[in-house]
Structure 1
Amino acid sequence: MADERRSNYLLSGRRVQVRDLIEAGLIGPGAKLRFQRRRMRLTYHAEVTGSGWVRLLPDGQEFPTPSRAAAVAAGMRAVDGWLVWTVVETGRTLDVLRQELLDRAVATAPPASGEQALNPRIHERLREARKRAEDHNPEEFSVRELLGLWGAKDRGDQISRIEADLANHGLVTTPSFRKVTLDSTVRLVVSSAGADEVSAHLASVESAVADEETEDDPIGLTVGNLQSALGGLCSVAPNATFDEALTKMLLNDFSQLAVLNGPRNLRGAVTWRSIAHSRHADPQAGLSAAIEPDVGVVRYDKELIDVLPDLQRTGFVFVRDQENVVAGIVTTADVVQQYGQMAMPFFQVGEVDRSLRRVISRNLSLDQVAGLCNRPVRSFDGLSMGDYQRVLGDPGVWATLGWPLDRSVFIERLDEIRKIRNDVMHFNPDQPPEGTIDKLRKLNALLRQYGDPS
């Protein structure tokens, strides 16, 4: 029974760790590890500690994850240590042992339900995807379809679970599914193709390595989360005519065009301003005279907030995808629209929070609230949405309010708002479900009507 409970925990949304292999008897403390880079004729050595860390030999540095240990040993930016560390005694990689552990867990765990339950269907689906990736025939999905494998509609509460499941199967998406739109296409690939190919592979999948340590991976809004960033690019060649450029700009209502000499070679841009300046200086000049070479170009996974200075200076930046192709453009208007869409639910959630806090503070003492929340409460400002539910869900408190409303229906709506609030406060880059703003507005209107005693 204990093993079954342990198995259930292993697959409940967290990454497998070396200590799990120890507890399952798949590897022992002191086991010797080897990481070979055959092309470079380099071999690194390590051993497993009793706590499940990896100790490099002979210098004795210890690391909580095999990936971090491998990266330090090889002096590389990132390596999937599960794939490159081999147990010397058996010749099996840590990844093979991890897969055996997962298979065993799925086979022995009892049926369960709920978000944290084992999901043998997903496990088998990812096993198939891993095999296809290793056969150089990776599966392709839209991000929306990928999330749907877990029953998720957006990159909200389940994103850590999804990343953990992918990592446990040695998979990553390229491009990173965090950093593009829901309708962008991603491929499921092996996080590294082997010790000799790690560097080349990492160059193509960037920071999406399936490492256990995700704290260094930025999760804010990225350039690629904007629809236009990777949505295709209208461009002209350096030897194009003014008529060609002007026609494309007029037909598409563009203020600028990329000038490309091949999909990866950005020569600059032509804009209405640069065209006007060049023609004013020389009415007979060709389009090359209107090319502005000093234009911004950023990677799709760059944090959007870091791009704002370039946008302020030029009004647009071009975007490179995971293969370094110039694949799209982001303008000031795109950013204003994105932040505007995010700001509306943010402000509405803030008003709900303030209104509920005001209702509770006017009707209850901190001691009463602490008793209902079953924890110390030092300030009404420290209450969470869950606290509001617990307090207002109490029949006695509800009776004190005297609202002619159904308590269970009201608390059910608060639970919906709690989930919305989690997405908003974690800056979920995806559009909220249809009707979200309307729910927030109507709750705020109700709280203004009943929550203000004046």
Structure 2
Amino acid sequence: MTDTVLTAVPAVPAQRSMYLLGGRRVQVRDLLEARLLRPGAKLRFVRRRVGDTYHAEVTEAGKVRLIPDGQEFQSPSRAAMVAAGMRAVDGWLAWTVVETGKPLDALRQDLLDRAVATATEEPGDETRELRVHERLREARRRADEQHPEEFSVRELLSLWGAKDRGDQITRIEADLANHGLITSPSFRKVTLDSTVRLIVSSGDADEASVAQVGAPAAAADESDAADDPIGLTVGNLPSALGGLKSVAPNATFEEAITKLLLNDFSQLAVLNGPRNLRGAITWKSIAHARHADPHAKLSDAIDPEAVDVRYDKELIDVLPDLQRNGFVFVRNEQNIVAGIVTTSDVVQAYGEMAMPFFQIGELDRSLRRIIARDVDLDQVGAVCNRRVRSFDELTMGEYQRVLADPGVWSSLGWPLDRATFIERLDEIRQIRNDVMHFNPDPPPAGTIEKLRKLNSLLRLYGEIA
């Protein structure tokens, strides 16, 4: 049987359109189910820069099987990476169908367009998915034309109705990947107000392009997303890419000292061009140089051991350097020395993340103690509609459900309005879910105060027997 791609195929079922457009990444098996690709179809990956060609075929299960070694991969990108021995490559762009010469990405876009064509026009979540698809399709067109769109991270997230990088981040990354797009720099690894460009992920990533966008981003595929860490990165701190004060190696002490004083800095970068970091000038290095030689020049005060790191480096991995030096300089995606992170920046960032944890922990203990004191387990189980063996099993949502029960609320004897209290508790539940997803963004204004006030109220009325 020859390998062909069907040209007249039924549309993607309407009930699958929302599933494909929002929440997960398109997979090769979706192309098979839509009859855009046939089992046994031969694939080719040509690396023109090095003159190598790799071969594969599509299995009945929707996997990519390398030829001749027979290894199978669900992810086209993983298959391309293994075949070529590369750290990162977008397999959807790399693999082409031999029979037609079309990349897998073109079939993926056909699938998305069909899903849109069969989607309903009813208001609701699916309408938003359609708007996102149209917006990303336009962004892809401009990226292909080498005129990528630029957004602040905050503006990008707003396309999905999100205000921060909380529990929608998986959906956002899936939608971007389905359109063959990534952001440069990675939108997860900079601040909300940083500017990012929507670009096409590389179909033949070499070492230079990988260094620019980062290996997981360049791979841009479902199996690689799990490898991309979600903890705080250096670039998540505002000072990391927020501009940098520097002096040239031939500057004077007067220039350096003036910049230190005017900006209330403790250190300055010494740059011989935007990418060439020669070291740092600090109050300590100035004092040492002048103590050793009253006639010293600024070049004698340069500390050449200053550390520089990429913006996407995990913050926890930088802590030893910060402990030793008190600061690190930060390079952006273009390898320009663009900012600085100090120990005080890290203390502030971790403090902003830790405070909600402490407040939520106190809230959890207070609610559990109050319910355990006034409600028996059988009543809790009846309200939660499940068997509850211990009050320690209860979730924040179940605390809310139990306290919303009129009988339970009456037994508390609190002179408070139940509906208003439960409304606030529901807000706290959503805050708790966001915090537990380790959102790298600072909590919205007023979040800590809401938690504190509810904890204060529980301490006051929780004592009423």
- Using the size of structure 2 for normalisation, the TM-score is 0.93
Residue 231 (str. 1) matches residue 242 (str. 2): yes
Residue 429 (str. 1) matches residue 437 (str. 2): no
- 1:207-260, Cα deviation, whole Å (9 max, x unpaired): 323221211101001110111000111111111111111111111111111111
| Residue matched to 2:3 | none
In structure 2, C-alpha distance between the alignment counterparts of 1:188 and 1:244, rounded to whole Å: 39
Offset at residue 28 of structure 1 (A): 1.9
Residue number among 206, 210, 221 corresponding to 2:214 in the alignment: 206
| Residue matched to 1:286 | 297
| Residue matched to 1:408 | 419
Residue number among 42, 55, 62 corresponding to 2:65 in the alignment: 55
Distance 1:377 1:324, change over 3 A: farther
Residues 278 and 285 in structure 1, CA contact (< 8 A), matched pair in contact too: yes
Offset at residue 163 of structure 1 (A): 0.9
Give the letter aligned to residue 212 of structure 2: S
Residue number among 323, 326, 334 corresponding to 1:323 in the alignment: 334
Distance 1:392 1:116, change over 3 A: farther
In structure 2, C-alpha distance between the alignment counterparts of 1:375 and 1:102, rounded to whole Å: 40
In structure 2, C-alpha distance between the alignment counterparts of 1:147 and 1:289, rounded to whole Å: 47
Residue 393 (str. 1) matches residue 404 (str. 2): yes
Residue 343 (str. 1) matches residue 351 (str. 2): no
Distance 1:23 1:376, change over 3 A: farther
Residue number among 263, 268, 286 corresponding to 2:279 in the alignment: 268
Offset at residue 102 of structure 1 (A): 0.6
In structure 1, C-alpha distance between the alignment counterparts of 2:188 and 2:303, rounded to whole Å: 32
Residue 22 (str. 1) matches residue 32 (str. 2): yes
Residues 133 and 189 in structure 1, CA contact (< 8 A), matched pair in contact too: yes
**Structure 1 unaligned blocks of 5 or more:** none
| Residue matched to 2:454 | 443
Residue 183 (str. 1) matches residue 193 (str. 2): yes
In structure 1, C-alpha distance between the alignment counterparts of 2:122 and 2:430, rounded to whole Å: 23
- Map residues 123-134 of structure 1 onto 2, 5 A cutoff: 123-134=133-144
Residues 8 and 118 in structure 1, CA contact (< 8 A), matched pair in contact too: no
Offset at residue 438 of structure 1 (A): 1.9
In structure 1, C-alpha distance between the alignment counterparts of 2:390 and 2:323, rounded to whole Å: 41
- 1:84-106, Cα deviation, whole Å (9 max, x unpaired): 11111222111111111111111
Residues 11 and 117 in structure 1, CA contact (< 8 A), matched pair in contact too: no
Give the letter aligned to residue 266 of structure 1: L
Residues 12 and 118 in structure 1, CA contact (< 8 A), matched pair in contact too: no
**Structure 2 unaligned blocks of 5 or more:** 1-10
In structure 2, C-alpha distance between the alignment counterparts of 1:114 and 1:443, rounded to whole Å: 33
Give the letter aligned to residue 176 of structure 1: S
In structure 1, C-alpha distance between the alignment counterparts of 2:98 and 2:247, rounded to whole Å: 56
In structure 1, C-alpha distance between the alignment counterparts of 2:48 and 2:361, rounded to whole Å: 57
SS of the residue corresponding to residue 176 of structure 1 reads: coil
Residues 143 and 185 in structure 1, CA contact (< 8 A), matched pair in contact too: yes
| Residue matched to 1:256 | 267
SS of the residue corresponding to residue 40 of structure 1 reads: coil
| Residue matched to 2:163 | 153
Residue number among 331, 334, 352 corresponding to 2:363 in the alignment: 352
- 1:31-73, Cα deviation, whole Å (9 max, x unpaired): 2111111222211111112221211111111112111111111
In structure 1, C-alpha distance between the alignment counterparts of 2:302 and 2:278, rounded to whole Å: 8
Distance 1:73 1:251, change over 3 A: same
Residues 7 and 108 in structure 1, CA contact (< 8 A), matched pair in contact too: yes
| Residue matched to 1:299 | 310
Residues 138 and 188 in structure 1, CA contact (< 8 A), matched pair in contact too: yes
| Residue matched to 1:169 | 179
Distance 1:45 1:368, change over 3 A: farther
Offset at residue 198 of structure 1 (A): 4.7
| Residue matched to 1:98 | 108
In structure 2, C-alpha distance between the alignment counterparts of 1:223 and 1:38, rounded to whole Å: 36
In structure 2, C-alpha distance between the alignment counterparts of 1:423 and 1:228, rounded to whole Å: 24
Distance 1:78 1:2, change over 3 A: closer
Residues 22 and 174 in structure 2, CA contact (< 8 A), matched pair in contact too: no
Give the letter aligned to residue 406 of structure 2: P
SS of the residue corresponding to residue 36 of structure 1 reads: strand
- Map residues 213-224 of structure 1 onto 2, 5 A cutoff: 213=223, 214-224=225-235
Offset at residue 297 of structure 1 (A): 1.0
In structure 2, C-alpha distance between the alignment counterparts of 1:155 and 1:128, rounded to whole Å: 23
Distance 1:2 1:388, change over 3 A: farther
Please report the RMSD computed on the Cα atoms of aligned residues, expressed in angstroms. 1.8
What is the number of equivalent residue pairs in this alignment? 452
| Residue matched to 2:132 | 122
Give the letter aligned to residue 31 of structure 1: A
- 1:248-276, Cα deviation, whole Å (9 max, x unpaired): 11111111111111111111111111111
Give the letter aligned to residue 248 of structure 1: K
Give the letter aligned to residue 374 of structure 1: N
Residue 107 (str. 1) matches residue 111 (str. 2): no
SS of the residue corresponding to residue 44 of structure 2 reads: strand
SS of the residue corresponding to residue 398 of structure 1 reads: helix
Give the letter aligned to residue 91 of structure 2: G
Residues 373 and 390 in structure 1, CA contact (< 8 A), matched pair in contact too: yes
In structure 2, C-alpha distance between the alignment counterparts of 1:260 and 1:2, rounded to whole Å: 56
Distance 1:283 1:39, change over 3 A: same
Offset at residue 116 of structure 1 (A): 6.7
SS of the residue corresponding to residue 461 of structure 2 reads: helix
Aligned-residue sequence identity (percent) comes to 75
Residues 109 and 118 in structure 1, CA contact (< 8 A), matched pair in contact too: no
Offset at residue 417 of structure 1 (A): 0.8
| Residue matched to 1:45 | 55
Give the letter aligned to residue 410 of structure 1: F
Distance 1:156 1:279, change over 3 A: same
In structure 1, C-alpha distance between the alignment counterparts of 2:371 and 2:214, rounded to whole Å: 48
| Residue matched to 1:332 | 343
In structure 2, C-alpha distance between the alignment counterparts of 1:372 and 1:266, rounded to whole Å: 63
In structure 1, C-alpha distance between the alignment counterparts of 2:188 and 2:360, rounded to whole Å: 24
In structure 2, C-alpha distance between the alignment counterparts of 1:292 and 1:265, rounded to whole Å: 14
